[in-house]
Chains A and B, each alone.
Chain A
Amino acid sequence: MGDGRGGESAKVAMADKLVVKNLNAFFFKNRALKDVSLSFEEDKIAAIIGPSGCGKSTLVRCLNRMHEVVPGATATGEVILDGNNIYDDEVDPVQVRRRIGMVFQKPTPFPTMSIEDNVAAGLTLNGVEVSRAERASIIERSLRQAALWEEVKDRLRRPGGSLSGGQQQRLCVARALAVQPEVLLMDEPCSALDPISTARIEELLLELKSAYTIVIVTHNMQQAARCSDKTAFMYTGDLVEYGETKQIFTNPTKRETEDYITGRFG
């Protein structure tokens, strides 16, 4: 809300968790992001909106170095997490991804694992040794944070795929939270969900923001308006406008933003 700082501020403020500077992303020779610079504040929710193909997903995927997982995808520029550029040569993307978690558009529970194994996957697959009791408490804590505990506590050993779509997505949120990341990226987490499940995820975001820096990509402008503190509008790989959500939706400074928000295109 109105803390007086503009989105364009060049200085790195204390509360800026993640700062993006001159980020360019490519798929082979195709430039998907054009010199994007913005910063995400600690314990706030930032929404990224824009028409399909504008680079929203590419932007968040660059934030935890998931972009480069796709063959032919490269990125240049800086993404600074707590003062350290995650694109420095000596940085291992694996370490970055442990600090910056991600939830994808499609719910992706691991089909070979039970509900509880899915939640603990980030620990087991990374070889983190925890006691039985510790593991159980991490599972319960993560599932409670993801507002799924009450629904699954009696069937933790059932397969993750046995849950409904909305529950599966919350399971993925729990899985991302179990490794205690500092930043949570969400790439259209509600686009495959019905309105009730969507509402649950949105409630969840508002509860989580006291502890995490959250960046959410969404096609749904109401969703951005409802739950974000700041909103970025992207168009054809450019960051058109970034500012307080209220200002973006009530008094945008750029013509394109206004056209998009009022539904004139996109």
Chain B
Amino acid sequence: MAAGTLSALHGETSYRIRKFKSDAMMAVTVGATIITLIPLFLVLGYLLSKGVASLNWAFFTHMPAPVGEKGGGMANAIVGTLEVVGIACLIGVPIGVGAGLYLAANRASQFTNWVRFSADVLMGVPSIVVGIFAYAVIVRPFGGFSTLAGSVALAAIMIPLVTRTTEEMVLLVPPELREAALALGVPNWRTTLSVVARTALSGITTGVILAVARVSGETAPLLFTAFGNRFWSTSLFHPINTLTVQVYTYAISPFADWQRQAWAGALVLTAIILALELGVRWVTGGAAKAPR
């Protein structure tokens, strides 16, 4: 009887139309997914084919060669990128995480809404505008391009990202945990740090690493802050070379050797960012498992 009803249902036109609609939608979404993935693999594949050929040990250990001379590397740019981004983290992460914790802890206030709205607007500001901001705030008063100016520009991009992800991650922590800690006579600040933020830590870390990956690829805000440098420099107050700016300079140059090196630089930068993203996977994957 039941089987008879079922097969009768299969025969109905309305059922067949519904089934067709479902299959059609499925095909559309699969198609969209494939189209999304194509550029990713094209970019990665092209980068690998062009970049690997120019990649050698000297690229990592040597300074940029003078015009017309073959060889040379981007040692100063690799170190420079790490330094600029590292200092941007030192500035941006504490401020961003702190502001995120504040937003999550004071949901109801008007000030919170205002700060949250500002963070959302800041996230949409073009990075070159942030560069102009750092130029006005650091480069002009200090009288020159510097590592610090570049880091401040990148930190300004990181802060709203880190603030909002921290807030979202902290809000995922069940309020009962907060109450349980408060009921033990733990002060509010300690509850926020040791229980709430601690519980949200893997999520906050993910947000921070994603923000780092985002700013590592920035070129525009560095053009008139960190500026670039053909020589070795790690000083906070002098111009410094970075991978993105070096790739930009080499890519628009007329020299074939520089253009080859630009490909290699782009590949190394992508590898660094990819490593960070894999780091995110590792951190979140590790946290999903029960801590020992």
Contacts and interface: CB of A to CB of B under 8 A. Distances in A.
Given A104-B180, A108-B177, A110-B195, A94 B185 contact: yes
Interface string B169-194: 00000101111111111110011001
A122 B179 CA distance: 13
B290 interface: yes
Nearest to A121: B184
A19 B251 CA distance: 79
B195 A108 contact: no
A96 B198 CA distance: 25
Interface residues of B, number: 25
Interface residues of A, number: 31
Interface in A141-188: 157, 159, 161-162, 172, 175-176, 179
B186 A122 contact: yes
Interface string A91-111: 000111111011010101011
A101 to B, nearest CB: 7
Contact of B185 (A97, A110, A157): A97
Contacts of B201: 112
A94 B179 contact: no
A110 B191 CA distance: 11
A106 B184 CA distance: 16
B191 to A, nearest CB: 8
A57 B251 CA distance: 68
Contacts of B183: 64, 66, 97, 101-102, 104, 176
A108 B176 contact: yes
Nearest to A92: B187
Interface of A is mostly: mixed
A97 B186 CA distance: 8
A14 interface: no
Contact of A66 (B182, B195, B198): B182
A179 B183 CA distance: 11
Contacts of A161: 290
A99 B174 CA distance: 25
B205 to A, nearest CB: 13
Contacts of A71: 107-108
A125 B177 CA distance: 13
Contact of A162 (B181, B182, B199, B290): B290
Contacts of A99: 185
A104 B179 contact: yes
B70 interface: no
Most buried by B among A66, A108, A175: A108
A196 interface: no
A69 interface: yes
Most buried by A among B184, B186, B199, B201: B184
A172 B182 CA distance: 13
Given A72-B108, A121-B181, A125-B195, A94 B176 contact: no
Interface string A118-139: 0001100110000000000000
Contacts of B177: 108, 110-111
A258 B16 CA distance: 61
Nearest to A102: B183
A4 B286 CA distance: 61
Contact of A172 (B174, B180, B199): B180
A106 B176 contact: yes
A159 B194 contact: no
Nearest to A157: B292
B198 to A, nearest CB: 5
B291 interface: yes
Contacts of A98: 184-185
A112 B198 contact: yes
Given A72-B108, A125-B194, A179 B184 contact: yes
Given A110-B180, A122-B186, A175-B180, 18 more contacts: A66-B182, A69-B179, A71-B108, A94-B185, A97-B182, A98-B185, A104-B183, A121-B181, A125-B181, A125-B190, A125-B191, A125-B195, A126-B184, A157-B292, A159-B290, A159-B291, A162-B290, A179-B184
10 contacts: A66-B183, A94-B187, A110-B177, A111-B199, A125-B181, A125-B186, A125-B194, A126-B184, A159-B291, A179-B184
